Each structure stands twice: as C-alpha cells, then as structure tokens.
Structure 1
C-alpha cells in the first residue's frame, strides 16, 4: 500500500535532510576544490613509457606533460612543455622551444636534454615499451629500437641548448604534433629513474608516492591500492596560476553499476563510463548530467584467416557488408555511438 504525506510533512523532511551533516563528497569538493573521478579499473602503473590503459592515461595527463597537449576544445594540439615551435619548409625538421619556467616537481629545470634521454629510454629495446613506434617517424628511431644500430646519436633528436630541442623526421608528418600529446612521448626524470633502477628497469619503484617526479600540473600524493589515488596541485608547474583544483581523487571502480550508483549518490563528480542499459534511459529522460563526446577508438572484429572458410577475401568482404552497423548502434549499444565504415575514427589526423 502506497502512503502519501501531506505537503507540510514532505517539506519538513526535506529541510531536515538538507540541514543534516551528511554532506556528499561532491558538495564538499566544490568548496574544497577537490575533484572526485571514477577511474574504471585499478591503474597498472604510471610509467608513461610502459603503461597502455585508459585509467593510466587519466592519471598521467595530470601528473606529466609532453611537448604538446591535446586541445580540450578539439582541433590542433596546443603548447605544453614547449611554448612554441618552428617547422622547416620541407616539413621534416621541428624545433621546439621549451617553457622558460618549466620545472620538474622536485624543482629541477626541465630541459631539452630530458626529452633526448626520455626518448632514448622509450626506444631502448630491453625496456619493452608498448608504444615505441610513436617515434618511428623520427630519423633512425626504428633502427635504434630494433637493434640495427646501438648509437643513439644516429636518432634524429638533439638538444640544441637547454631550452631548444630539434627533431628530424623521415618524411613530412602533418600529425606529428598530435603524436607528441600521447603520454608515451612524455619526459621522465632521469636522476629519479636511475636512483631506483636502470634505464630499462620496469619495477616501477621510481613511480611510487614519495619517489615520483614529473612535470605536470599535479603531484602524486597517495596511492591506496584498490581504494583511491590522490594527486595534489603542483605549485612549480609552469602554468600553475590557471589550475583551479587543489586535488583530484581517482577511484578505481571496475563495476559500472557501482560507479553509476556512486555518481547518483554524490560520491563522484564524473564517471569514466556508465551501464549500457542506463544510457538509453538517460538519453530519453534528457538527463542534464549525461554528456556524450566522440571517442577516438573503433570497435571491430578480426577474422581468423587460418580458417579455410575465411581464406577467400570475398567471403570476408561479404560478411563485412552483411553487418548493419546503424542497426547495431540504434538497437543494441544505444548510447550515441557512430557507425564505423573506416578503421580510423572520423576527424582523425593524418
């Protein structure tokens, strides 16, 4: 049996609730300038030359910074650790001028030599980096990484002086500036890495709280495994005056239903994903908290070409043509996805 309360009682209940001391993290975060973020699964680390996942990326974009950074409004990359750059007429030589007040979080000056050493580390074969090919556009990078040469001086990157970095490319690469906003190309602090291991050490000791040194807008404060990661504003960041947050709290929530409940109960400002069954409901209700943005990724299936039935490319083409992508988007996923008719997402550079 449903119970209906007269209006005065409802108003009283609301008043008592609103005046209670149970202030949500979201509400208190607005006052304290603390951002609560649902970060998906537990990050596997924060070594930019080793990690590959989205949760790791979310952390790294606050902790470190490359020569360029992604434009939050879309479009071409914008200045990061480099305040400006020149490109030669043939499009093969890039000269980057670093921020004059660029600093590591321990106070050291960020220099062009840091980028040279960091790129050497990324390309060191024994490190086993996942994205060394991001630098294959650079002269000699592929040969060094694949052991064809062991002389890094043959790689087309050099420090002209402390604040000037020159990069030589094999061919004109219009999307090169965009590549440099990927965390695999970002600098690591040489002395810190070598203090806790070697250039190709993967143990991650240098990335622990208290050890970690980087050049981003935030510093690593605490890391409670499977609970919470806290980063705090870095006062030495070259653009610290524009950083409005004091802290960011990252919560590893692998269950999307749990993350959705945390958001609705005021524990999170933003979620990294949401339940597929909830998305069409939120869209239909025009929920003002729902934001759908383009995702630079493509979902696809691979064919096992060792299967005799799939050897003929015409068979594979026929199967591809038979898939109604629009119907999948409208009837199955139902969360604003775009039907894919090419491998690279629309709007990709290159």
Structure 2
C-alpha cells in the first residue's frame, strides 16, 4: 500500500469525525429516535458557595498571640478562637470539657486527673497531648518567661515557689502520666479551678514547635494552635485573619470558614465601616452610637452582660497619690451617676465597689448586694480630705496642673477622661492634663509606673470575686497602682487558700472594704458590653467573663 493511498484514507477519516462527532469512549453513538433531534445538556454547573468570612474589628494590635504572654482583650479575643483549654464555655454558658474528654477530682479536692480526647490535633497535624499541657503551664510559670498572668497557676502546688525563684520546676505538681492523662495537684481546694482551665493562660502550647522556635507566636506562618480556627495572616497594626481549623475535633459544628479582624483603634472609623456594610459584627461601639441605637430600639444593638469594672489607677509611688486622703478626695468628688447616664450611656452601673454585680457568694447570693455600697459621692467632704492630703505632702492645688490622666486611644475613654477632668476642676479646683496612647503602650507604661492617673478596666477571669480582689495584692503583676497593705495581703491569701467557703468570703469582704477605704484605684462603673450584629449573623454568644464568642456563629445573607 503506497503512501499517497494511506494519506488519502487518513484525510477521509478525519473528515468523517468532524461531521459526525466523537463517540464516547466505551459506548455507542447517541441514537436518533426519529421524534426529536438529539440535544446536549447545557445546564450550568453549580456555582461554588462563597466562603463564609465574618468581618469585624479588633481595636488594638496584640502585644502577643502566645497564651503565656497575652494580657488583654486585644489578645484574648483572638486566642479564644484559635486555642482551647481542657475546659471551655459552651453556648449555654456552661463550663464543659474541651480538650479533655473527662476528669476526676480526688476526695480531698486537691488532685485533678484529666483524660484528653482521642481525636485532638494541632493545626499543623501534630496530636495534642498531655505533655503539651504540662509544658505550657510550666513554661508560663518559668520566671524567665515573665508572664503577667503566671499567678493564675499559683493554685498548682509548687507553682508560686517556682515562679518567684523559691522552688524548682520539678516541684510543680502538674504531670503528664501519658499522652492522654494529665494529673494536677493544687496547693489548696479551689472551687473555680475547672473554670480556670478554660482561661487563656492555661491553654496548651505545642511543645515541639515552641522548643524549636522561640518566636513561633509572632507571625502567622509559624503560629500553631489547637482551637476551632487557626491564624493564617497577621499584617501587624493592620489586620488579622483566622480560618477554620480542619483538624479541630468539633469542626462539623463550626459554620464560618473564617473571621477577618481589622486593627483600627478609632471607634468612629470602625463604626462607619460597620454602617457601610464592611463589617458583620462590631464591638466596642462609640457611646453616642449606643445611645442613638437604644433610643431607636435598633435590633442590631445587643447589650451584652459583663462581669467587669472600669476604674482609674492612682500611682501611689508618685506624690501626692501616695496620700490616702488625696486618693479618697478624688474618689468622693467623681460623679459616677452622671458619667453612666450622660456619657457612657450603655446601661452601665455606677460603681459601688471594685467587685461588680453578678458573682455568687458562699450562699449563692450576689456578692455585691451582700457587701453593699462602699463608695460615697460627697463633694464637701471629698474636697476637705483632698486639701488636707495635699498639705500633708507639702503641695498646693496649683501643683496639680502637671498631673496627667493617661488613657488608651478611644473616643469613649476620651469622653470619660474629659468628664473626670472637668468634675475635678469644678469640685477640687485642680487642672489635670489628658494623654492618649496606644493600648499596648498604656499597659507597658502602667507596668513601669510611668504615669500619674491611668484609665483601666478589668473583666473577671472566672466567676469568683477573688478575680478582682487579688488585683491589688502587693505581689500581683496587675497591681499597677503599686498599692501595698500587709493586712489586705493577708486577707487575700486566706481567700485564695482557705478550704472553708465562709472564711474565704468573709476575708474577701473585709479586703474589699480595706481597699475602698485606702482607695488606690477609683472605680467608675460596672461594664456592660454593647455590640452591633447584622440580622443575618446568628450563633454569637456572650459569656459573662469573655468577649462575644464567634466560634459557632453563622452568616445567612
């Protein structure tokens, strides 16, 4: 057969294919029934669903996303979505097992034995083990770590001694018995210890990752976590993105594909983005916006309950704030009711002590209601004490013109500081200056004692009054007022260690009365947490001691 004949046959075959169409592999050509011409299905393929990304704002750049080093809500809000402890707070606001499958408590209430779940992994695929918990807790207690929240592990036998340099890490009574079993022995029975294991300082850390890279928590590409979401992007001072952690044991219950946080400290700018549709959820809100939304009965406004106190630190290491009369005079001449009614306008309650409402006492009653009002508004008596205290320090009213109220950048904090400034000008005749700085800068300056008066706030870490009372113990890392009263310290020690509920609550009541007599801090109000939520967002819940939880939120536009 010659080449020309083969070429002709090939051309004829190609022509035939073009005009008849290709026959599916392994089957016959479609048959014509004679009634209607053969057709091709042109139905478009389903469009992939858009990822469900909830967009919101985190008002300040985190100082650290390492559980051992975090110290504020600007960090904990991210950590609470990227990590999980042995226990967690569920949508019913109950403390339930998280990484733990179950636990046992010894008859003397000193030893806790946690059994971990079988299906828990880190975001990089490593198994989460009891060794990670032991490592993380001892790491937070390591004096070289300089963790501000190390005191939350002092309840563990040997914890305080190791952290303060008086003991060894080997004496810290937390031990991984095997990969799935963690044994913890406490110094004294602690009724709220289970709840404490849901707090971010007690989150686990991947031992292998942390030991191989000391800077693992500083950037998204090295960050490893064990919670429902994982850190995927962190553009410092601009934005944070977290995405669903497919290795999370309860991933089937997580509806969102991720959460995008801007980092904008100006509340008005953030509100404009919410109002313009850029955000699905927002907290905090400008005070004027909260007032307007309340007046309009706007269904997007939710007033979240909080166990938290807004207050001013008075630096007792700086004259004249070392004088209790001066401190008391400032407190007695601050009109708290006007601040909550006319300025805060978010349903806050004028403070009557340092411990807010909502915490139970030994009888199951509200601790605050039982203790009563420890703060008095009395301008005449306050001015008398203030002037006496100034004279005792060899100072005059005019000397106060160099004193400064330090607050972190926020329209709300600015307005409250301006109100305090004006009240003290009118009632005491003093001129006080104002200074605003970034939140992390404020925290650092408070720790260094580089301030006169500073705006502060405290959200309870767990549902027991000691979470507030212990703040001003002389050894507390959060005693930014530099307060020191041995009697107060002794009462706090009793409240933290006594197995007798009546004794420990009586100690707390006495301690609060002492601190409110000495007034190293000026409580202003008990918080609420107003937040805005679009109608298509569901599943958000608000624990009393946490920012709103977005873990099980959903978007249905």
Question: Could you state the TM-score of these two structures normalised by the residue count of structure 2?
Answer: 0.53
Q: Which one of the candidate residues 58, 63, 73 is aligned to 2:77?
A: 58
Once the two structures are superposed, what CA deviation does each residue of 1:32-89 show, in whole Å capped at 9, x if it has no partner? 2111121112222311111212121121112111111123433x42221112222222
Q: Is the 8 A contact 1:43 1:252 kept in 2?
A: no
**1:22 maps to which residue?**
none
Which runs of no fewer than 5 residues in structure 1 stay unpaired?
Answer: 1-29, 198-203
| Structure with bigger RCO (C-alpha 8 Å, 6+ apart) | 1
Q: Is the 8 A contact 2:88 2:97 kept in 1?
A: yes
Task: Indicate whether 1:340 and 2:340 are aligned.
Answer: no
**1:289 maps to which residue?**
300
Q: Is the 8 A contact 2:65 2:217 kept in 1?
A: no
Once the two structures are superposed, what CA deviation does each residue of 1:173-210 show, in whole Å capped at 9, x if it has no partner? 1111222211111111111112223xxxxxx3454222
Task: Indicate whether 1:142 and 2:160 are aligned.
Answer: yes
Q: Which one of the candidate residues 99, 118, 121 is aligned to 1:100?
A: 118
SS at match of 2:112: strand
**2:265 maps to which residue?**
254
SS at match of 2:282: coil
Paired residues, number: 312
1:323 shift after superposition? 4.5
Task: Indicate whether 1:311 and 2:329 are aligned.
Answer: no
1:304 shift after superposition? 5.1
SS at match of 1:261: helix
**1:177 maps to which residue?**
194
Tell me, in whole angstroms, the C-alpha distance in 2 between the residues paired with 1:334 and 1:346: 18
User: Which has the higher Rg, Structure 1 or Structure 2?
Assistant: 2
Change over 3 Å in CA distance of 1:252–1:107 after alignment to 2:
same
**1:12 maps to which residue?**
none
1:160 shift after superposition? 2.2
SS at match of 1:300: strand
1:64-79 superposed matches below 5 A:
64-74=83-93, 76-79=94-97
SS at match of 2:351: coil
1:283 shift after superposition? 0.6
Question: Could you state the TM-score of these two structures normalised by the residue count of structure 1?
Answer: 0.83
Change over 3 Å in CA distance of 1:292–1:105 after alignment to 2:
same
Change over 3 Å in CA distance of 1:169–1:118 after alignment to 2:
same
Instruction: After superposing the two structures, state which structure 1 stretch, 115-124 or 221-230, moved more.
Output: 221-230
**2:553 maps to which residue?**
none
Task: Indicate whether 1:121 and 2:139 are aligned.
Answer: yes
**2:244 maps to which residue?**
233
Change over 3 Å in CA distance of 1:256–1:153 after alignment to 2:
same
**1:46 maps to which residue?**
65
